[in-house]
Amino acid sequence: MKKFITATLIFFFLAMGTMFLWGFIDKQSKESSTPVPPTTAGSSNQNSSSSSSSTSSSSTAPPTPLEKTYSMSELSSHNKASDCWLDISGNVYEVTSYLDYHPGGADIIIMFCGQDATKAYNTKGGNRGSHSSRANATLAGYKIGVIK
């Protein structure tokens, strides 16, 4: 009887460990399968080094001569799912083509189309988390300019 209980417990713990590991691996694969952003017109105006792109996506540095500038009224006219621009930290991102790929769903982004979404981006919509470096790199690919 003791051998049966021991074997059952070993089987149980192996099964639970396998399920836990599978869930962890599945989560990691979902995070790493974020699609590569399509090339946008704004991307060709960025500096070629990725470190300067990452820095410019999270700061309000003055625009380089090649960066296009937009007013808040221009930004606010791009306020729907079929035409969605965001202001994040003074940078303008055209994210329409990314909406269907957002891991948190398109709706969370759509509610900020045509607006300053800095606080929402920095807190993941108020969930107190910050976006990953991978998310920041993905976002940088959608940059089209800066706010005047």
Please give the average pLDDT of every successive group of 10 residues along the chain, which has 148 residues. 90 83 63 51 39 42 75 96 96 96 92 95 83 93 95
Q: Give the pLDDT confidence score for residue 66 in this predicted structure.
A: 77
Q: Give the pLDDT confidence score for residue 43 in this predicted structure.
A: 41
In angstroms, the CA 45 to CA 116 distance is 22
In angstroms, the CA 133 to CA 54 distance is 9
Domain count, the chain: 2
In angstroms, the CA 99 to CA 96 distance is 6
Q: Work out the number of other CB atoms within 10 angstroms of the CB of residue 40.
A: 18
Residues 72 and 19 in one domain: no
- Could you tell me the CA-to-CA distances from 40 to 30, 36, 141, 145 in Å, in that order? 24, 12, 7, 11
Q: Give the pLDDT confidence score for residue 2 in this predicted structure.
A: 87
Residues 83 and 139 in one domain: yes
Residues 14 and 53 in one domain: no
